[in-house]
Structures are given as structure tokens and as C-alpha cells.
Chains A and B, each alone.
Chain A
Amino acid sequence: MSISTSEEIVALFKRVAAELMGESFDAMTEASRIGEFGIDSTSVYEIVTEIEDALDIRIPDDILVDMRTVGDLVTAVQEQQRHAAHGSRDLGGAA
């Protein structure tokens, strides 16, 4: 599994958030605080879950607790992708 770039993850976040919440998040950058854009904590869980599904990873709830910015999410996603890459090699590779 390849590691997504931060641009890709931010773009995915914007797209998923826009679909779920029915409005545009064009101004969002990696440095944006998630709460600034009117995304409450319940919606963040939904958005993160959609991103997980799209990238076939899973971010533990514990890590979500500490997430403030879009950049924090980028870091968490890349970390899980690295884990997944190692994990799948160990298991002989999953599709």
C-alpha cells in the first residue's frame, strides 16, 4: 500500500466533508483547525470513518481524541498507512 500525500488527504477530507455536510470547505488547509469550519465532534467521526473506508485503514478512537487540525489527521492517516504496509508484508501481502 502506498502512502498518500498530505495534499491528497486534505483533498479527500474536503470532498468527504462537503458530501456529508452539504457545503463547501474550499478554504481548508492542513493548518486549519477542524472545529473552525463548523464541523462538530460527531461529524468528525463520520468524516474520518469515510476516509478510512476510502483508504482501507483504521484509525483508533484513542488517536481521534487528540486530533485538532486537518494536519493531525494527515499524520494519523499516513501513520496507519505505514502500519498497514508493514502489516500486509508480514502477512504475505493482502490485496
Chain B
Amino acid sequence: MEDRQQPGTVCDVLLTLESHQQHGYTFLDHDGQEIRHSFSEIVAEAKATAAALRTQGLERGDRLALIVPSAHDFVVGFFGALLAGVVPVPLYPPFALGRLEFYLESTATLLRDAGARMVVTPRRIRRILWPVTETAKRLERILAAETVIGARGEPFVPSPVAPEDIAFIQFTSGATQVSRGVAVTHGNLVANCRCIIKEGLVVDPEKDKGLTWLPLYHDMGLIGFVIAPLFAPASIVIMPPTMFLRRPLQWLDMIHRHRATVTFAPNFAYALVTNRATIAHVERWDLSCLRVAGCGAEPISAQTLEAFEQRFAPAGLRKDALLPSYGMAEATLSISFKPLATRWRKDVVDGPIFREEGRAVPAPACAEDTIEFVSCGRWFRHHDVRILDEAGAPLPDRNVGEIAFSGPSVTPGYQGSRSGGSDTYRGGWLHTGDLGYVAGGELFVSGRKKDLIVINGRNYLPEAIEWAVGDIPGVRRGNVVAFSRPGNRGTEELVLACEVRSSDHEALAKSIAARVTETFGLPVADVVLLAPRTLPKTTSGKMQRRKARELYIEGGLAETGPRRGGHDVALSRLVALRMRAMVSRVRHTTRRVLRSDELYRDRNGNDSR
């Protein structure tokens, strides 16, 4: 009944805000400037943009890639495309240091996958982007953002948009596979945003204010802090991501200054600010305004949450503020949230039973071998979560299996040629590929299905092994990958690939193997020590375990032959100018640009004990 009056598309919501002055977005820049645009102003600019896009020849259903670093221009361009019935495809701008050739190569792939007809980007990026026009087949033109975003002149003619229409294409950061374009419908967005705003956060437009530094080309920033706020409607403060990267503490400083009540970030960001903040900072801030400090998008460590809480409690951080959550682009954004007004909680389970039987049984207080999981809370109403065994049958509470999700937030599927053969969408359920369990109606995520290391019939979580190795001096924390390789006796054996800083490779490999063996009772078949930045990562910086494993098995992860850095650098630059030559080989060529003495492969077998 209530639903009948609810808008069916994001366009409907935008048009109801046409004269809404009270709330809007405040865009911050590096120079400390703040520019506020009410929703009314944003909708007016989006309508003008919609008209300009139609004038450029874009038609309903056409894919339009957005490579727009300015948050204001991005928001206007995105909403403008929606109002024109055009499907925006947010892509990340050139960003990583000195990696232009990677950027052009991956952008061309994403443009092809999305079937983008045009790109909108500022002129300064268009200058370096031209090579993609040769490799992205359907791409006709690169439009200058300056001429279409917020353009004046043409009258806006509404385009008919239905809830089942695809609203936009969201590329996943997919830690274990290459990025895929998820088609997200208007109906998906309306359903998920309402869950977030009304049920998960219970936003009060009079009191709440969101603040984010998350990139808007990823789902957590875009849906969480650009689209969902329209459904309140509530005000949002948007910082450039590089403002956070340059000065991580600005995040908390801005929460304090703007009296923000809701923010979200991945686990790593909470660890970083905990590490950077001094007592002087903490004394300066009053963070009691922060009602929700959401945490998601990567595995959540209880240790990180505890340290953050402890560090910022003197600044008035509320005990119930930290809000672990679970979600993914294929589910639009969010699946579950920690309930409001309760403290986050962890589940301490028995290690041996977990590994041998796949059951998460609470460990007795005196137990030594335990594993901690952070609760990701409860899934939304009108949605369902099941834990499935290998055969796809539902498992009872506290049994570990694949997390499956159903409901109106589940997207219709992937776009593009690389989406074939996926078994993610089956029988009305989204098979997440994540492992987890349910206890007392709360969801616990324990790892990735495909990455699970199974040795001698026992399951090991790669994350747990990687974390154990991460704090050995000389190892780059967060840059460790654990996987298995086929062994001689028909069993799998453990391999660790670690990026390292130390020069004493032999000693380091020994201490890594020793740590794993001592902690997990598991022999290590091989330790591969690598120069920094050689392990494959996704655009959002997550380790690609499966990719690392493939490279290792092909022999591409750690070759010990002599390497001439200078030659390879020159080669990779040359290749950047010649886009046609940019096949997968290039990625390897550039990864191998290393000082030869940085690259080591040390065999350290079962005798490490």
C-alpha cells in the first residue's frame, strides 16, 4: 500500500526534488573551499546536461562512460545521463602514480565491455585518453565535460524510464577476478537506497548529515553518498579522495567541523587514521556527532575496530557508532548492516572445529586456537540470505557455506563479453562467492569460496595466513598472498607470495615459513619474495589471489633471470604510445621492471621447522 506512492525510478526521485532547497551536496576542495549546491540546483543542472547529451546524439539506452574527477561535475553528469535515459558508466580517472599505460589499457577494456558509445571527460584528461578510441570498438567520441555538463540552452524533454530499465553500469572491484560491469536497474537502486536510508540508517533529514571521501566511481561512494541521500533527502559533504590520501586525518577533522553524523569507509581507512592520530588530534576533536561510522567493502578486522574505538573514545566517539556492513555491486550495494544502537560484536569460534568441520562453534574462554569474525549484522527486510553447501542446499546456523542473497536489490546480471560462464546469478539467488555463516540472525563473512585453501581435507582462510605473516618485519603488510598449488602426492600445498622490503631474503623466507608453521601447523611448500608492487591488485587496491596463483603456476610471478630495468622502462613507455600493442604481455613487461636484486625466489620447503 505504502509502496504505491513510492517513486519507481531515480529519475522520479530527482524530479520530486526540483524545488528542494533545504538539502544538497557540499563539495570540498583541497584549498579549503566549500561549495554547496541544493538538490534543486543539482536537478536543474542535470536537466540541462540531459538536454545537451541528447543534442550530442546520445539516445535512450546508450552507454556513456564518465571519467570525471570533479565530484560536482560527476554528480551532475551522472544524474543528467539518467534523466536523458542514457546509461552512465562511471570509470576511474588516471590516478595511480606513474601507471598511465596500465590505465589506458584497462580503461579500453572497460569501455569495450560496457559497450560505451561516448565518454565524457575534462579536456585535460581527453588529451591523454585518445589512444583508447583505437581499441574500444563502439566508442564514437570523447566529449569534453566542459561543453556538456551543466550546459545551458536546450530545453529538457523527459525521457520515459521504467523501474526495470538499466540505470547504470557499476564495475566491480572484485578482489578475486577481473572487474566486471554490473547492470543496475532503477528498481534495484530504489529498493536498496530505501533499505539503506529508511531501515539500515533510519535517517532523519533534520538531524543527519553524511560525509565521504570515497571515490564516486565505486558503489559505496556513488550509491551510498550520492544516490541514497536523495531518498531522505539529507545533506552530504563530499571530499575529494586525494584529500583523504594526502591527509588521512582530514576525514575526522571534517566530521568534527561539519558535525557529520554518517560516514563509511573500508577497514584500511580506520586502521590508517588510528595509526596517524596523536593525542593532540584527539583532544581537538569532538566526534560525538558521529552516529554511524560504517565499515565495509573488504574483510573487517576486529582488531582494527577495537583500536579505532579505543583511540577515539576520548574524542567522544560513541560506542555504537562503528557499523560493520556487508554488500557488493551485484546486490546494488548493501546486503546487511549492524543494527543501530547496539555495539558491533565479534564471534570467537573454535579454530580446529572451524577448519576441520566447517562449523563456527563459540570457543570456550580458555581456548588457545580461536578465530574471530566480526558480525556484519542483519540483512534487509524483503530480502533473504541463505548459507548453501557445495550442492546448493541450505545449511543450518553456524555452518559455513556460500552466502546467497535474494530480493529486489539483486541486479539482473553482468554486461559485456567477459561475463559469460558466470554462475553468480542462478535460480533467483545471487551466489556471492563469499563464505560465511549465520548465527542468531546475524551474518558473519569468513572469506572467499574460490580462494579457500584446502590442504589434506582441512580448510584454511588465506586472509588468516596473510594476516599472520603481515606483521613480520620486512614484509609489506597487506601485500601478502597465500594460495595452494598442486603437490606431488595429489594434495595441495601452501605457497606464500610476499612483497618485501628487507634485503636478507633467506632469513626472511625462513621466518615467514616458520610463522605459518607455528601458527597453523601447516608446512609451507614455497615462499616467493617479491619487490614491492609486483603482486596483482584490483583498481581499488585489493589483492587478486586467483590472479597471483595463475601467474605463479605459469611461472610469471617470480622469475629469477637477469633483468635490465632501463630497457624495460623504455619499452613500457614506448608501448604506452602504441596502444595497439597493448595486449596482456604489456602488463607483465611493466611488472617486471624491477631491480634484479629486489626480485627473489627462495625455495623453503617442509624442513622449515
Contacts and interface: CB of A to CB of B under 8 A. Distances in A.
Nearest to A42: B245
Contacts of B499: 38
Nearest to B598: A36
Contacts of B96: 41, 65
Contact of B97 (A34, A46, A49): A34
Contacts of A48: 246
B242 A61 contact: yes
Pairs A-B, 10 closest by C-beta atoms: A68-B98, A45-B245, A38-B532, A49-B246, A38-B501, A35-B533, A45-B246, A41-B97, A38-B476, A41-B96
Interface of B: 30, 69, 94-98, 100, 124, 240, 242, 245-248, 272, 476, 479, 499-501, 531-533, 541, 593-595, 598
Contact of A68 (B30, B95, B97, B500): B97
Contacts of A49: 246-247
Contact of A36 (B94, B95, B124, B594): B594
B242 A65 contact: no
Contacts of A42: 245, 272, 541
Nearest to A73: B97
Nearest to B503: A27
Secondary structure dominating the interface of A? helix
Interface in A70-91: 72
A23 B476 CA distance: 12
7 contacts: A40-B532, A41-B245, A42-B245, A42-B541, A45-B242, A67-B98, A68-B98
A61 B125 CA distance: 13
A67 B532 contact: no
B246 A46 contact: yes
Most chain A CB atoms below 10 A, which of B95, B97, B541 = B97
What secondary structure prevails in chain B residues at the interface with A?
Answer: loop
A69 to B, nearest CB: 8
Contacts of B272: 42
Given A35-B533, A38-B501, A40-B532, A65 B246 contact: no
A44 interface: yes
Given A36-B532, A37-B501, 15 more contacts: A36-B595, A38-B499, A38-B532, A39-B532, A40-B479, A40-B532, A41-B96, A41-B97, A42-B272, A42-B541, A44-B97, A46-B246, A46-B247, A62-B124, A65-B98
A10 interface: no
A81 B582 CA distance: 37
B595 A46 contact: no
A17 B245 CA distance: 15
A36 B531 contact: yes
Contacts of B242: 45, 61, 64
B97 A65 contact: yes
Contacts of B595: 36
Contacts of B531: 36
